[in-house]
């Protein structure tokens, strides 16, 4: 099955947004064994979209269109596709009802143009959208499979994975060319990409099926293991064997797999150990709290987070003596230590964790460069404080500081952190 992905939107052509949808769709199709042969971007223009769609019908078996399903006049994908295929548009009563409920629930006025989103080319299946008002459409016509998806990635990707992929899999069943491609990502923290590559060099040099691809990802490094096989079970086994070999070499540098990010791994360890946590953040400005509270049920371990941004807040809320800040400055090992101990006492938590640093762009002074950050962890059985220098933009420094803080928590909960 040959696929062409057509992204519709003048904002893509003008370079205002980037076509992540084509990448994400191609990745998903790969695991079905469907190859993408062309990707095209075209503006919100009926003539040009028609021509591009006709070309695709001539050279691909599966055509996926993203974008242009909104309610306004420049959203023309639904109508143009139906016109090219010679199919009338029919109103979906299910979606009409959903739209009415949606607008009444959020108390927003519903206008006539909104109902365009309930129109479906004859014979099309509706792909439901929990995250927005535009449904997708799955259609078979002229011996081709045609899928229309909304443009916003948050709506497009779950719809594609959860609804379109199963329909495509059904369609492909019995096709003997179907090769199963599966992959797993190991997430590594605390090792740079090149140090990681050095450690597993023999495995990388002898790779075949599965393949092993190292990737740098912000403050982390990832390893993607990809196996090709005739059955999911066999692919799974091939991957497990290689994953075990890698884990054998990298040990606890591997902290998680696939979508398990560091905050989720830490949350699981906190749940398992039955420990509670309190945070005191300065330069990271609440990002650490934000990341941990992205995990559902984080209220079971996170008692509170204090963003003590001003010196007054450090003094009045955390009980740090003004003399200490005057003597060594707010960005110092002493203040980090007192923040962690202070917030733990204040919240009566098992673990106190603090971050204080210079996120920039201003604030650096002689001896205290941009990115200088102190992290401290305070628990009954352990006191840990360390100095770091992070680099990058203000946001990158915040991200790296929160990432390293999460890793300290992980190591502590695994019993691998030592008192300083």
Q: Which stretch binds a second copy (CB under 8 A): 16-24, 120-128, 260-268, 376-384?
A: 16-24
Q: What are the residues whose beta carbons fall under 8 Å from the beta carbon of 259, sequence distance 6 or more? A: none
Instruction: Decide: helix, strand or coil at residue 162.
Output: helix
Q: What is the DSSP letter of 308?
A: -
Under rule CB under 8 A, how many of the chain's residues touch a second copy? 105
**Rounded Cα gap, residues 128 and 69, in angstroms:** 13
Q: Is residue 287 a contact residue for a second copy (CB under 8 A)?
A: yes
* Residues in 153-172 at the binding interface with a second copy, rule: CB under 8 A: 154
Judged by CB under 8 A, the residue of 172, 317, 324, 333 near a second copy is 317
Judged by CB under 8 A, the residue of 139, 225, 288, 408 near a second copy is 288
Measured between alpha carbons, how far apart are the two ends of the chain, in Å? Answer: 59
* Residues in 191-220 at the binding interface with a second copy, rule: CB under 8 A: 192-195, 197-198, 204, 213-216
Q: Is residue 175 a contact residue for a second copy (CB under 8 A)?
A: no
Q: Is residue 20 a contact residue for a second copy (CB under 8 A)?
A: yes
Q: What are the residues whose beta carbons fall under 8 Å from the beta carbon of 240, sequence distance 6 or more? A: none
Q: Which stretch binds a second copy (CB under 8 A): 82-90, 165-173, 265-273, 342-350?
A: 342-350
**Rounded Cα gap, residues 87 and 316, in angstroms:** 69
Q: Is residue 58 a contact residue for a second copy (CB under 8 A)?
A: no
Locate all alpha helices (DSSP H) within 70-124, ordered by sequence.
77-85, 93-105
Structural tokens at position 257: 């797999």
Q: Is 5 exposed, middle or buried (0-12, 13-18, 19+ CB in 10 A)?
A: buried
**Rounded Cα gap, residues 320 and 316, in angstroms:** 7
Structural tokens at position 190: 């605390």
Shortest distance in whole angstroms from residue 212 CB to a second copy: 10
The helix (H) or strand (E) run that includes residue 186 is strand 180-189
- x/- mask, a second copy, residues 351-380, rule CB under 8 A, reads --------xxxx------------------
Residue indicated by tokens 């129109």: 119
Can you spell out the DSSP letters for 3-42? EEEEEE-HHHHTTSS--HHHHHHHHHHHTTTPEEEEEEEE
Nearer to a second copy, 122 or 201 (CB): 201
Q: Is residue 403 a contact residue for a second copy (CB under 8 A)?
A: no
* Residues in 235-264 at the binding interface with a second copy, rule: CB under 8 A: none
Shortest distance in whole angstroms from residue 160 CB to a second copy: 12
Asked if residues 406 and 291 have their Cβ atoms less than 8 Å apart, the reply is yes
Instruction: Decide: helix, strand or coil at residue 309.
Output: coil
Nearer to a second copy, 87 or 271 (CB): 271
Judged by CB under 8 A, the residue of 159, 347, 355, 417 near a second copy is 347
Judged by CB under 8 A, the residue of 142, 252, 312, 326 near a second copy is 312
Q: Which stretch binds a second copy (CB under 8 A): 48-56, 80-88, 162-170, 332-340?
A: 48-56
Instruction: Decide: helix, strand or coil at residue 72.
Output: coil
Q: Which stretch binds a second copy (CB under 8 A): 137-145, 160-168, 263-271, 387-395?
A: 387-395
**Is residue 74 reached through a cis peptide bond, with omega within 30 degrees of 0 on the bond before it?**
no
- x/- mask, a second copy, residues 77-116, rule CB under 8 A, reads ----------------------------xx-xx-x-xx--
Residue indicated by tokens 């707010």: 330
Judged by CB under 8 A, the residue of 26, 126, 180, 364 near a second copy is 26
Shortest distance in whole angstroms from residue 12 CB to a second copy: 7
């Amino acid at each position: 099955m040959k696929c062409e992905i057509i992204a519709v939107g003048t904002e893509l052509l003008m370079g205002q947004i980037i076509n992540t949808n084509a990448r994400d769709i191609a990745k998903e199709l790969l695991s079905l064994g469907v190859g993408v042969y062309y990707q095209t971007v075209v503006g919100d223009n009926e003539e040009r979209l028609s021509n591009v769609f006709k070309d695709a019908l001539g050279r691909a078996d599966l055509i996926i269109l993203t974008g242009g399903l909104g309610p306004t006049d420049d959203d023309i994908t639904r109508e143009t596709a139906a016109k090219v295929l010679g199919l009338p548009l029919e109103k979906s009563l299910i979606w009409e009802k959903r739209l009415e409920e949606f607008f009444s629930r959020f108390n927003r006025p519903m206008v006539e143009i909104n109902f365009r989103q309930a129109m479906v080319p004859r014979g099309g299946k509706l792909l439901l959208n929990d995250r927005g008002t535009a449904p997708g459409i799955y259609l078979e016509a002229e011996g081709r499979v045609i899928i229309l998806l909304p443009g916003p990635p948050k709506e497009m990707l779950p719809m594609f994975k959860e609804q379109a992929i199963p329909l495509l899999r059904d369609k492909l069943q019995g096709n003997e060319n179907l090769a199963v491609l599966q992959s797993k990502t190991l997430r590594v923290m605390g090792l740079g990409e090149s140090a990681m590559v050095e450690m597993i060099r023999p495995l990388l040099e002898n790779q075949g099926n599965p393949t092993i691809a190292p990737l740098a990802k912000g403050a982390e490094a990832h390893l993607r293991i990809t196996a090709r096989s005739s059955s999911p079970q066999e692919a799974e086994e091939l991957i497990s064997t290689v994953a075990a070999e890698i884990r054998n070499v990298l040990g606890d540098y591997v902290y998680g797999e696939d979508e398990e990010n560091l905050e989720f791994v830490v949350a699981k360890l906190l749940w398992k150990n039955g420990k509670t946590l309190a945070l005191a953040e300065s330069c990271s400005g609440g990002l650490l709290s934000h990341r941990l509270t992205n995990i559902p049920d984080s209220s079971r371990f996170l008692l509170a987070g204090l963003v003590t941004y001003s010196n007054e807040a450090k003094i009045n809320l955390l009980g740090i003596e003004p003399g200490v800040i005057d003597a060594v400055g707010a960005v110092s090992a002493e203040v980090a230590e007192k923040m962690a101990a202070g917030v733990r006492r204040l919240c009566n938590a098992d673990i106190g964790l603090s971050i204080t640093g210079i996120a920039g762009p201003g604030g650096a002074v002689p001896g205290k460069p941009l990115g200088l950050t102190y992290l401290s962890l305070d628990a009954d059985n352990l006191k840990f404080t360390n100095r770091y220098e992070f680099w990058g933009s203000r946001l990158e420094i915040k991200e790296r500081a929160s990432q390293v803080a999460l890793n300290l928590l992980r190591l502590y909960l695994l019993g691998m952190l030592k008192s300083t």
